[in-house]
Amino acid sequence: MRLLLLCCALAAARAEPSVWTWRCESGSCVRRSAAGVTDGMQFGTCKLTCGELSAVWPRPTGPAAFGSETVPFLIDSVQFQLVAPDPVKPMLQTATEIFLDSLRALQPSGLGGRRSGCRPDGACEPAVAEQAVKVTVAVESADTALTLETGEDSQLVVSYTAGSEVSVVINATTFFGARHGLETLSQLIEYDDDNACLQASADRTDAPVYPIRALTIDTARSFIPLSALRRTIDAMAMNKLNTLHWHVTDTHSFPIEVSSEPRLVQYGAYSPQQVYTAREVAELVRYGRQRGVRLLPELDAPAHVGYGWQWGEDAGLGRLAVCVGEEPWQSYCVEPPCGQMNIINDNMYTVLEKIYKDFNTLFQPDIFHMGGDEININCWKTSPEIADYVSDHGGDPTDDSEYMELWAQYQLRAADIWRNVSGRDTPLLLWTSDLTSQEASGASSVLPPSQYIIQVWTTGSDQQIGDLLQQGYPLVISNYDAWYFDCGFSAWVGAGHNWCAPYKSWQTVYDNSPRAIARSFEPSGADYASLVRGGSAVLWSEQSDAQTLDSRLWPRGAALAERLWAEPDTDSAAALTRLVHHRERMVQRGIGAELMQPEYCHMNDGICVL
């Protein structure tokens, strides 16, 4: 079945006929003078019907056929039939409301809410008003949890015979596949200026290549208000990204409420207003799940710890963190302010257990991130109590390897605590570090590959990647030379640009293939690509807060999303016109995505290329 819907939404579009029209020429929508052109069409119609992938982002992975006809309909004439086990029904119901909101967002402002057929001259009445659209959404599984095993597949069929209703069927294994199907459907509908209409199409089967399709967001260097996090989740849902990896704390601040230990936010939050309360976090977890996005919490440790942990001595618990705010910072950490856990203090582990307990209750995470990056050995070595501990245990306090060993002991103990409080074998994530590098070289075995997923932030050509794969580690790819979204701006310590300049363009983001990275290290006969669990683009927040969040993340996050959803063999150049159009769609839905090209280029495919 191949066809398109065209929906006449609301009245009062432009009364004057346009002097412009669009033609589909060699797969491109080109703008032509309407005079003398008989096969011209509306801009939106062209975007939907011209090109084999229509206007869908990210591109489907299964067979897909998009039609060339359009059928007008009104938003109000869309009816849903939901076929799903009871636990899924309310989520599905909400998903249909989100879907309708996304259609309303397509309408030019000023038309909102007013429904009176079509143009003042009545051009699309009464045919449009009569057109019924029935959307059946069927979900098999009663499971409402998103895990690494969750099927996110769906099938979408739109069918229509003249004179009858338009029938849309979305079938999915789980709720998550169904909501992706609704997202696709929303992208097959466009507003039509001439007819004041929306339009749609299709038959496609779809499922993601990778189970972890993530953004890493840092809320410790800058506090990001909940409204901005919710908007980020909305945008992720538009792109079928499914994981918000929340780097919630760092040395700079501790903004998340741990109910059993209120001193963490009292000492750690930038201000009492810049706190995520337990209730707000629980609500955000629900908000994400409804939109197909899991919240993956990270408590970065044993480095990247400081503010929030300073009250130990006053409370008679000894120092919980060391080197906090130590200067010159270059000697003790990678950026100011410094701070690391006091990993020989038993009381520190008691606090850690409280945090883990709360995180487990709030997030119920199916995977948990333990941080583990950028440990500075010198910080521990120059802390008298830690150096004394090494001596007391018969070690040489001037030997770095003693502290590597302490770090390994910390990791084993912390993982044990997490397993105890969560009561299950959650896969654990760690950033690449000196510890993972040791493991990769086979020099120690603290991190069994059956328990850990390593998030790689080295360059994509770093030998550690090959070594980790050789040891059998599952990986999440975040190589900083392509997927760090904070790179290329002014330096914030010192002059010039920041450390990982240049800026990573959307093209660089799109063309960074986890599969190709894994294969570049693959000896013949091995299958490294199957160890890749996905990827995450990272936005550290030293230089971005809610003011710049959207433009840093989008449309580059969309480029990432298509790479992770589909791993296409094609490159960024082939994705240009769809992404330019998708960026417009994101803006229409309230996301402040950065402009890629002048609007002229959006209206004239194939002109703004080299």
Contact residues toward ligand NAG (CB under 6 A) are: 138, 155, 157, 169, 171, 413, 416-417, 420
Q: How far is the CB of 52 from ligand NAG (least distance, A)?
A: 21
Q: Which whole-number Å values give the CA distances from 505 to 55, 402, 480, 514, 552, in the listed order?
A: 22, 42, 12, 17, 11
3-state DSSP: the chain helix, strand, coil percent, rounded to 5? 35, 20, 50
Structure tokens at 418: 């997490």
Whether the link from the prior residue into 262 is cis, omega within 30° of 0, is: no
Residue with tokens 């257990």: 353
Q: Name 148's Cβ contacts closer than 8 Å, sequence gap at least 6.
A: 211, 212, 366, 367, 427, 533
Structure tokens at 493: 């310590």
Which candidate in 165, 374, 522, 542 is catalytic? Answer: 374
Answer for the pair 403, 383: CB distance below 8 angstroms, yes or no: no
Answer for the pair 75, 268: CB distance below 8 angstroms, yes or no: no
By beta-carbon proximity to ligand NAG, the closer residue of 205 and 459 is 205
Whether the link from the prior residue into 384 is cis, omega within 30° of 0, is: no
**Stated length of the chain:** 610
Specify whether 374 is catalytic.
yes
Structure tokens at 532: 């890749």
Please compute, for residue 380, the number of CA atoms within 13 A of its CA located in the half-sphere on the CB side: 28
Q: What residues pair up with 157 in beta bridges, in sequence order?
A: 169, 203
By beta-carbon proximity to ligand NAG, the closer residue of 134 and 413 is 413
Answer for the pair 55, 186: CB distance below 8 angstroms, yes or no: no
CA 495, 499, 500, 506 torsion: positive or negative?
negative
By beta-carbon proximity to ligand NAG, the closer residue of 152 and 605 is 152
Cβ burial, residue 506 (10 Å; 0-12/13-18/19+): buried
Interatomic CA distance for residues 327 and 336, integer angstroms:
9
Answer for the pair 432, 458: CB distance below 8 angstroms, yes or no: yes
Interatomic CA distance for residues 493 and 334, integer angstroms:
11
Structure tokens at 25: 């020429």
Q: Which whole-number Å values give the CA distances from 420 to 6, 356, 424, 462, in the listed order?
A: 56, 10, 8, 35
Using DSSP bridges, classify how beta strands 203-206 and 197-201 pair: parallel, antiparallel or unpaired: unpaired
Residue 27 phi/psi, 5-degree rounding, is: 80, 5
**Residue-wise over 336-356: b if at least 16 C-beta within 10 A, else e?**
bbbbbbbbbbeebbebbbbbb
By beta-carbon proximity to ligand NAG, the closer residue of 157 and 317 is 157
DSSP class of residue 458 equals S
Interatomic CA distance for residues 118 and 73, integer angstroms:
11
Chain mean position to CA 241 = 4
Answer for the pair 535, 557: CB distance below 8 angstroms, yes or no: no
Point out the residues that are catalytic. 374
